[in-house]
A and B are shown apart, each in its own frame.
Chain A
Amino acid sequence: MRKGSYMDVIKGRFLKQNFGKILIAIFISWFILSFLIVPNIKIIYDTFFGTGTFSIESIQKLVRSERAIRSIFNSIVLAVILSVTVNIVGILIVLLLNYFDIKGSKILKLGFYTTLIYSGVALNFGYKLVYGENGLITKLLMEIFPNLNPSWFSGLFAVAFVMTFACTSNHVLFLTSAIHSIDFHTVEAAQNLGASQFSIIRKIVLPTLKPTIFALTILTFLSGLGAVSAPLVFGGNEFETITPMILTFARSATSKNLATVLALFLGLITITVLTFFLRNEAKGNYISISKTKMKLKKQKITNKTANIIMHIIAYVLFAIYTIPVLTIIVFSFTNSKAISTGQITLDSFTLKNYATTFSSVNQLKPYLVSLTYGAVASLLVVIFCLICAYLMRKYRNGLTKTLDYLLMIPWFLPSTLIAIGLIITYNVQNPLVFNRILTGTIWILLIGYILTKIPFTIRICKSAFFGISDEIEEAARNLGSKTIYTFIKVILPIIIPTVAGVYALNLIHILPDYDLSVFLYHPLYQPLGVTIMNATKNTVTGDTKALILVYTVILMVINTLIMYVVYGKLGFNRKGNDIK
């Protein structure tokens, strides 16, 4: 009896002391189980046990569908092409801005960096304005070649062209950071030993950048494989890819299982490619042995012809990057007639589009919807990942290691698969979410945004926490501070700049999102990405297009400000944060 009451006291004390920790552990376990594990198991289950017993009927159905098979083939072709073209353009612009001494490089930088301030649907919208049926370039070409088909810019070529220039933002961020980590002494040593400028690039610079280029190639391959908006806008009927196909299949009740199988297939390719990447990642890395590092200096191209060619390439690329952005900005100040026909006169200019947009809350609704989703999802994912990363740092054991792996699940899965998983799991009452139906509610998109942002956020939060010396926390403890007080007063202030950076980057990625939103959005709360995408259709009126132009310009202004604060003021990624 006495022993029993003693044990009760111990238990009571344990519960009292660890109540907060137990609550956090329960919440994390529930979240992971409900949204990371069960939806994926459900996809696999529905694929093979959809009829109640084991069957591969849905796979056979997929194989029989010529359209589906062609979409898989097209996606793979696109991914392979982009892996080459994006690297060529990406490496070229990084070298032109950072390695070679090119005249007007500051202006060029503004052009090459435009993909950082608008991407996805907004970017496609811009290219459509330039290369579409009424686009500026199309009109110009038709004057030279009167027989040119106005819809010339479609199919594989158009998708690959747009995506080549859209996907260089990762190169701009990560390859730039990598090239600046090169010790310039190694370049000078090669020069001193008689190597020519271009052989130094081939033999010294590029091999040093190899691990980053390898990682970027994988990212590009996956972007090509899971591409949504570019194939939808420019692919036309003859070039359909996997994700738009999943979208089409998911909309019809009879082909829903095909969408599930295709999403599973996409997920399997992604996992295979990423596993290959992780296995080979360590092999390609080299360890810098520089004792005293020297900053990279820009090189004048000594060969005159080569110098002229490089300058021409630089300015042609500049034109390709900037024309769509300038077109968006200019057309946002014109009337609907100019926007519909693509012809501008002096009378076309007006501020009416902006006045209309800002005069009613209704006009700004897609913006407010995406802004609210972005702000809330970014905040929640940052809080969640901060807690998880802190636990991983504080308790380094098997349990936190498992947590680490589980939180990486969305990194291995395309957002389409995540979306399909959520839809099919929560389209009926489910005890995991207290017997509620989530599909079709405003919550499912919020959960989707949080899930897709977990891997990036957790990586950055972890590196921020692990960058703090253990002694800092021990010093606080030694001075009498408890865990939560130490976290709030000592640790959090140190990592706040990084946390603010992650928050802002998540927000600007969510704002124009289309890939996930199109599957999960609530019809009454259409997010910005979906609204912009709809405006790329030829049937849309000039007034609607005008509104989208204003949205896109505001989006670019917000992104520019955030990028300036995050990368300029907060110094985010200055030490080369992880990719993705």
Chain B
Amino acid sequence: MITFKDVEISYDDFVAVKNLNFEVKEGEFFTFLGPSGCGKTTTLRALVGFNKPSAGKIYLDGRDITDLPTEQRDIKMVFQSYALFPTMTVFENIAFGLKVKKVKKEEINQRVREIAKKMELSEKQLERKVSELSGGQQQRVAIARALVTNPKILVLDEPLSNLDAKLRIQLRNELKHLQKTFGITTIYVTHDQEEALTLSDRIAVFNNGEIEQIGTPQEIYENSSTEFVCNFIGDINKITDLVKANPQKFTLLDLNNNKEFYSRIESFKVVKNDLSNLSETEVAFEGKIIDSEYYGFYTKYSVDLGSQVIQVILTERINVESQKITVVINQNKILQYA
């Protein structure tokens, strides 16, 4: 449906993004994930028509839209700030795109009320000024305004970043539900890995203006193709020093090249002195708990393994004071990067 071919966007001498080559399928929830300044919003704005690529082409359903103005693209955007028109009511905000298209008054009325109902905006709220709504309601208005024109693609630029943690999770779920209901192709930009993992069908991880990896959330998390992706997604332990200090134990790893080794913190097991059940791929180390962080239903412990301090998570509480524990690592779950 959407194709980026060798796209590069630069401002004067500064290249913001380069070598962009990817496709987004119809009905897909596709996320651009990356840290601030990595080029994800720049790419999104090029898709919407606010930035012009300095090289390459963008196609929508096989049609070259690279030079098409935003109003002719049928790609509607929900902005980070929502960009609601402050002098208009909720109704007028949602109806704006239809009025511009010169849709008949009765039809505007019907379509606005229909979408408002789906977005759980009441009749009363439709007559209010947007400034009188809560953050969550404003977000719904912004999405309704974009969806009411039946666009081919919906793009959302960090729409949850202005909200508090609880509302963010609630709206995240609503967003997913909405996307499934409307079946609309959605491009989502975020720097929040949790949002990306929970919402997306596929994720493109951006770094320094380039895409490092594209894949399903599971692929990205479990088989991070680069050291950056592995570090950026989830909690990770760098265990290079531990591996190099104990080469005789890590028999399945390639220790010849100057590689870096990582392991997700949840793949560490803690056992109580019984090592009889270890599989062939597992190796055990004795360590001392030196610190803990309490997170409610689980606790994160810092364990000194001699050559390296690592973190493990446990749902049961352990007395921190110089407690000795045995940590088991599965070699198959170790990620290695040259």
Contacts and interface: CB of A to CB of B under 8 A. Distances in A.
A478 B48 contact: yes
Contact of A472 (B48, B49, B85): B85
Contacts of B79: 471, 474-475
Given A471-B81, A475-B77, A480 B87 contact: no
A471 B83 contact: yes
Given A469-B81, A471-B81, A485-B100, A477 B70 contact: yes
Contacts of B96: 476, 479, 481, 489
A496 B86 CA distance: 12
A494 interface: yes
A475 B70 contact: no
Contacts of B149: 479-480
Interface size class on chain A is 10 to 19
Interface string A459-490: 00000000001011011111111100100011
A478 B85 contact: no
Contact of A474 (B83, B88, B97, B146): B83
Nearest to A474: B50
A478 to B, nearest CB: 5
A52 interface: no
A469 B81 CA distance: 9
Contacts of A494: 85-87
A4 interface: no
Nearest to B96: A479
A493 interface: yes
A57 to B, nearest CB: 53
Contacts of B87: 490, 493-494, 496
A471 B80 contact: yes
Nearest to B76: A478
A478 B81 contact: no
Q: Which residue, of A471, A479, A490, has the highest number of chain B Cβ atoms within 10 A?
A: A479
Contact of A480 (B50, B71, B81, B84): B71
B101 interface: yes
A493 B84 CA distance: 13
A479 B100 contact: yes
B145 interface: yes
A471 B41 CA distance: 13
Nearest to A479: B97
A475 B83 contact: yes
Contacts of B145: 475, 479
Contacts of A469: 81, 83
A476 B86 CA distance: 12
Contact of A478 (B71, B86, B88, B101): B71
Interface in A470-524: 471-472, 474-482, 485, 489-490, 493-494, 496
Contacts of B100: 479-481, 485
Contacts of A489: 96
A90 B34 CA distance: 54
Interface in B85-112: 85-88, 96-97, 100-101
Nearest to B75: A478
A481 B71 contact: yes
A168 B49 CA distance: 52
Contacts of A480: 71, 97, 100-101, 149
Interface in A89-108: none
Contacts of A479: 71, 76, 96-97, 100, 145-146, 149
A252 B86 CA distance: 58
B71 A477 contact: yes
Contacts of B49: 478
Decide if the interface of chain B is mainly helix, strand, loop or mixed. Answer: loop
A404 B140 CA distance: 40
Contacts of A496: 87
Among A472, A478, A489, the most chain B Cβ lie within 10 Å of the Cβ of A478
A498 to B, nearest CB: 13
A559 B92 CA distance: 36
A99 B86 CA distance: 35
A478 B49 CA distance: 8
Central interface residue in A469, A489, A494, by most chain B CB within 10 Å: A489
A477 B146 CA distance: 12
Contacts of A493: 85, 87-88
B319 to A, nearest CB: 39
A82 B96 CA distance: 55
Contacts of B101: 480
Interface string B166-185: 00000000000000000000
Contacts of B77: 474-475, 478
A136 B71 CA distance: 71
Nearest to A497: B87
Interface in B144-197: 145-146, 149
A313 B145 CA distance: 60
A471 B79 CA distance: 7
Contacts of A485: 100
Contacts of B75: 478
Interface string B43-63: 000001110000000000000
A490 B85 contact: yes
A140 B86 CA distance: 59
A21 to B, nearest CB: 16
B117 to A, nearest CB: 21
A517 B77 CA distance: 53
Interface in B15-61: 48-50
A475 B84 CA distance: 8
Nearest to B81: A471
Contacts of A482: 71
A489 B77 CA distance: 19
Nearest to B102: A480
B85 A476 contact: yes
Interface in A193-250: none
A493 B85 CA distance: 9
Interface in A406-442: none
A532 to B, nearest CB: 40
A573 B71 CA distance: 36
A467 to B, nearest CB: 11
Nearest to B77: A478
Contacts of B48: 478
Contacts of B88: 493
Contacts of A472: 83, 85
B80 A478 contact: no
Contacts of B85: 472, 475-476, 490, 493-494
A470 to B, nearest CB: 9
Most buried by A among B70, B81, B100: B100
Interface string B132-145: 00000000000001
A485 B48 CA distance: 20
B158 to A, nearest CB: 12
B172 to A, nearest CB: 22
Nearest to A471: B83
A478 B77 CA distance: 7
B81 to A, nearest CB: 5
A478 B69 CA distance: 9
A477 B86 CA distance: 16
A58 B96 CA distance: 64
Contacts of B50: 474, 478
Contacts of B76: 478-479
A485 B101 CA distance: 12
A401 to B, nearest CB: 17
A475 B141 CA distance: 13
A-B residue pairs, 7 tightest by C-beta? A479-B97, A493-B87, A475-B83, A471-B83, A480-B100, A480-B71, A471-B79
Given A476-B96, A480-B100, A490-B85, 7 more contacts: A469-B83, A475-B84, A476-B85, A479-B149, A480-B71, A480-B97, A489-B96
Interface of A: 469, 471-472, 474-482, 485, 489-490, 493-494, 496
5 contacts: A471-B80, A476-B96, A479-B100, A481-B71, A490-B85
